[in-house]
Structure 1
Amino acid sequence: MNNGISYRKLAEDLRSDLERYSPGERLPSSRALVERFAVSPVTVSRALSVLAAEGLVVTRPGAGTFRARRPSGPATGARPADTSWQQIALSAQDHGDAAPRAVDDSGVLATLASPPPGVIPFNTGYLHPSLQPERALAAALARAARRPGVWDRPPAEGVTPLRAWFAREAGGALGPSNVLITAGGQAALTTALHALAAPGSAVLVESPTYPGLLAVARAAGLRPVPVPVDADGVRPDLLADAFAATGARVFFCQPLFQNPTGTVLTAERRAQVVATARAAGAFVIEDDFARRLSHGGPLGPTMVADDAEGTVVHVTSLTKATSPSLRVGALIARGPVLMRLRAIQVVDSFFVPRPLQEAALELVGAPAWPRHLRTVAAELRTRRDALVAALRGALPRLVPDRLPDGGGHLWLRLPDGADEYALATAALRHGVAVAPGRPYYAAEAPAPHIRVSYADTAGPEEIADGVARLAAACAEAGVC
């Protein structure tokens, strides 16, 4: 069996084959496809799901898979619907609006979009399918489905055993009562910003920072204010200046393997950051997204573990270390702020579905979970080293001075004056997708960068191929 072929590649091959079938005609059975392409039934099922999502095929239980019929066009002479009124409705503001209501999702979509077939994905932030614990997830879902009451409504805060697990993971004198289960890290960030910052107010962010946070802040009518990061994390002196200048009551940071720089906030600076925020009467949102993406080295404690006064609101998630579709995370806090966070989430989305929470609990409680984390650590370290070696051979000027010991990407400084968007466009033409650096800045970028991810690659061979393509794109764009 060809375990090397991915469901994406199989979907590409099947997409090319569709022209051989008339609309409505039945495709070969899943068993026939398994034998023809020498892949597993799971790979066939996922590939057919991709084509079904694209509207190219229709699956009928018990009957098979059929090429979709062409959709019929609008009735002859019918007047197209006029939705132009929405442009006014979505932009009009009364005098009470604190900020424009437009939402810019471009920075988020740049890391979510799947590249075209044949393009090496150096732009995404999730694990390659070969690193995702698909069997463990399937087993966890199956066990969760057999749990008594799995379809009952869960507590608004989340099921207690899962809350207790997240509390133990965070460390310190934390318990289930300090934890609110969320639908992943992004939902947790949205809830936190809505709970902690009033529309029109400033929110302090690291510079550069995660584009998804900037998008959430701006959609909530907040003003992101950048605080520069150096090799040891955010600068506490500039953080204090920013609090004084803006009156902000929230600072967002990623102290462990920061996105995009990969820096780790030193122990001394962690204490300074919390003390500075406390003196300003402000909260620190600690986004601990990469703790389970360590490359195997020792990790410092979470900021929330040592914060008895409730300055830190901790965000964590299982998504990055498992699958993009396991949207289970948590908010962890002390004091009345947890009730505010709970109220915001209940009003917004009620609760996280119980079957998903029970499946997550089954996953992290299984013997396969620590084995999976060890595998991810080793594989990410191998991929990071392969990327660095390839860059040293083809693009030595881009190799960073310090390499991260966790996460799944490198932050590459381009020469002064380089056009990072032109490079990204050229890279796509050469068959490799990278993320321009500009969306990671809340204000003007001090220098051009690109973010190159290795987490969603098949391994060292694909990484070497991707860097060769990137080198060709650099030559075409006059960079490096």
Structure 2
Amino acid sequence: MSKDNRSSAVAAQIRAEIADLSPGDKLPGVRELASRFKASAATISEALAELSALGLVRAEPGRGTFVARREPIREADYSWQTQALGPARVDADRASRLGGYGTPQHVPLSWGYLAPELVPGGELTRITARVAKHSRSWQMTPVAGSPDLRRVIAADYTADPGDVLIVPGGQQGLAYALRTLSEPGGHVITESPSYPGVILAAQSAGLTVSSVPADAHGIRIEALADELERTRARVVYVQPTYANPTGAVLAPERRTALIELAAKHGAFVVEDDWARYINLDEKAPRPVFVDDPNGHVVTVTTLSKPVSPGLRLGAVIARGPAGERLQAARAAEDLCVSPLTQEVTHALLTSQAWVRHRGRLSAELTARRDALVRAIHTYLPDVTLQSIPRGGLHMWGRLPEFARSREVAENAYAAGVLVGDGRHFFVNEPSGQYLRFSFGAATEAQAAEGARLLARVLET
């Protein structure tokens, strides 16, 4: 038993004893307590400090430790807050599931990050130890981020480094871009199904979210044109490369049409490029940002997905006055992303460790994806996969007509399997019963076991 656990155990025993004492009663001294509990003086002191923090005892220097007076506990009245806060913007049910990852005992068939064994932990540890010795790792960077890191990220987008803004993760980048490019009360259009986090980000910014159907080739352009005419939305959100949850890639002709529509309506396209570095069977399509010279496309990218969920770093890339406004507004929220995190990221991206990691990651995720596909075909023949993704972390499965995604997801959780309830990926009513499957966290053996358990759930 560690010392922390030991001191907590002793504190629990003392707490039980003082329940029968009166306020002002003196406790035995540290030596006596140490002898009684067969613990060190330091452990007894930690236990007493814990009880003091809880207001159960009070220490008087030179006199000892006494049972504290127990004040009557009054039930707090928070009813006034409901009126003061007004209607909630963010869907609490959707938000509660965005970061839900079950317990260590659950088979993770739906999770938006890499499994611990796929994270380049050794390389990150060595790089961090090295760059932490540099004084610049502990000094402020410009608000927009480290110039060196901005140059590295800009290269993949043929962008000017001055157009790159470093942010603490992709989710923060999305929320920040939507809030800055739109006005409260405005509209944002998203493909459907889509990433639940963007729906929450739009709600938080006070925006009305409209949706346009997407298929295996991405957002449907004719429907988007109609929705732009109807809503006069200023922002359109898309995932052109290996979308979450479907794995879809926006078709080349739709990419061109998307830029043309944005130009016609004077709108921004927020390109969520989270999966750029998670390509499996092919080279990832180039960013839509590259084909837009006039600043309609604003790209958000992240390193938290392809490297580690603990590496909270991303970037927003925008040209023209929009980029200037994003960078100017940044100072009001966060003066800079942690310089140490920026230095670690820069060192990783410019090292052979990054090349090796991407190679290993592609091979491992390909094997895991194929294992999950086999498991679904073997144990869940009634589940129809929309397509086999060639990158990213997710695939989209349609349930048989008799099943309901909410019940299936809840019962699967009770059976020890984490799957994504398709309802949360739609803005409004879902067009069918779907589950999201992910292959970044489950091993090949877990994929088979999870599919087998899910089959039992569907049987009942």
Aligned pairs (5 A) from 1:10-409: 22-23=9-10, 72=54, 75-91=70-86, 100-170=87-157, 172=158, 174-409=159-394
Match of 2:450 among 451, 460, 466: 466
Shift of 1:368: 0.9
Secondary structure at the residue paired with 1:322? coil
Mean Cα displacement is larger for which, 397-406 or 421-430? 397-406
Matched residue SS, 1:397: coil
Q: Distance in 2 between matches of 1:421 and 1:19?
A: 43
The question of whether the paired residues in 2 share the 8 Å contact of 1:205 and 1:251 is answered with: yes
Query: Which residue identity lines up with residue 124 of structure 1 in the other structure?
Result: W
Contact 1:101 1:219 in 2 (8 A): no
Question: In structure 2, how many angstroms separate the alpha carbons of the residues matched to 1:434 and 1:231?
Answer: 21
Q: C-alpha displacement at 1:429, in angstroms?
A: 1.7
SS in 2 for 1:321: coil
Which structure would you say has the larger Rg?
Answer: 2
Identical aligned pairs, as a percentage?
38
The answer (yes or no) to whether the contact 2:189–2:237 under 8 Å persists in 1 is yes
Contact 2:403 / 2:458 at 8 angstroms: preserved in 1? no
Q: Distance in 1 between matches of 2:104 and 2:218?
A: 37
Note the alpha carbon deviations across 1:1-34, whole angstroms, 9 max, x for none: xxxxxxxxxxxxx99xx79983369xxxxxxxxx
CA deviation after TM superposition for structure 1 residue 428, in Å: 1.3
Contact residue 131 and residue 376 of structure 1 kept, 8 A: yes
Deviation at 1:223, TM superposition (A): 0.8
Instruction: Give the drift of 1:222.
Output: 0.5
Q: Describe the shift of the 1:441–1:178 C-alpha distance in structure 2 as closer, same or farther (beyond 3 A).
A: same
- Whether contact under 8 Å (2:396, 2:435) holds in the other structure is yes
Supply the distance in 2 between the matched residues of 1:161 and 1:109 (Cα, whole angstroms).
37
Residue 101 of structure 1 deviates from its aligned partner by: 4.3
Work out the CA distance in 2 between the residues paired with 1:90 and 1:430: 38
User: Cα deviation per residue 1:342-361 (whole Å; 9 max; x = unaligned)?
Assistant: 12322122221211111111
Q: Tell me whether 224-233 or 416-425 shows the greater mean CA deviation.
A: 416-425
Q: Residues 216 and 386 of structure 2 are in contact (CA less than 8 Å); yes or no, is this contact kept in structure 1?
A: no
Query: Contact 1:194–1:344 (CA<8 Å) still a contact in 2?
Result: no
How high is the TM-score relative to the length of structure 1?
A: 0.81
* Alpha-carbon distance in structure 2 between the residues aligned to 1:306 and 1:445: 33
What is the DSSP-based 3-state SS (H/G/I as helix, E as strand, rest coil) of the residue aligned with 1:285?
strand
Q: Structure 1: which 5+ runs fail to align?
A: 1-13, 26-61, 92-99
Mapped to 2, the partners of 1:313 and 1:296 lie a distance apart of 27
Cα deviations by residue, 1:61-95 (Å, 9 ceiling, x for unpaired): x99xx99967847835232333332222111xxxx
Residue range with higher mean Cα deviation, 399-408 or 249-258: 399-408
Distance 1:315 1:81 in 2: 42
What is the CA–CA distance in structure 1 between the aligned matches of 2:104 and 2:319, rounded to whole Å?
47
Q: Which residue of 2 aligns with 1:35?
A: none
- 1:295 deviation in Å? 0.9
What is the rounded CA distance, in whole Å, between the counterparts of 1:125 and 1:264 in structure 2?
Answer: 18
**Deviation of 1:337 (Å):** 0.4
Deviation by residue 1:31-80 (Cα, 9 ceiling, x = unmatched): xxxxxxxxxxxxxxxxxxxxxxxxxxxxxxx99xx999678478352323
Distance in 2 between residues matched to 1:73 and 1:473, nearest whole Å? 48
SS of the aligned residue for 1:412 comes to strand
Task: Note the C-alpha offset of 1:306.
Answer: 1.6
Q: Take 2:286 and 2:244, find their aligned partners in 1: how far apart are those partners?
A: 18
For the structure 1 residues 431 and 169, does the alpha-carbon distance in structure 2 shift closer, same or farther, using more than 3 Å as the test?
same
Measure, in 2, the Cα distance between the counterparts of 1:301 and 1:250.
Answer: 21
TM-score if structure 2 supplies the norm length? 0.85
Cα distance between partner residues in 1 of 2:137 and 2:292: 35
1:444 Cα offset (Å): 1.3
Secondary structure at the aligned position of 2:397 is classed as strand
- In structure 2, runs of 5+ residues without a counterpart are 13-41, 57-69
Superposed CA deviations along residues 301-330 of structure 1, whole A, max 9, x for unmatched, are 111112111110011010001111111111
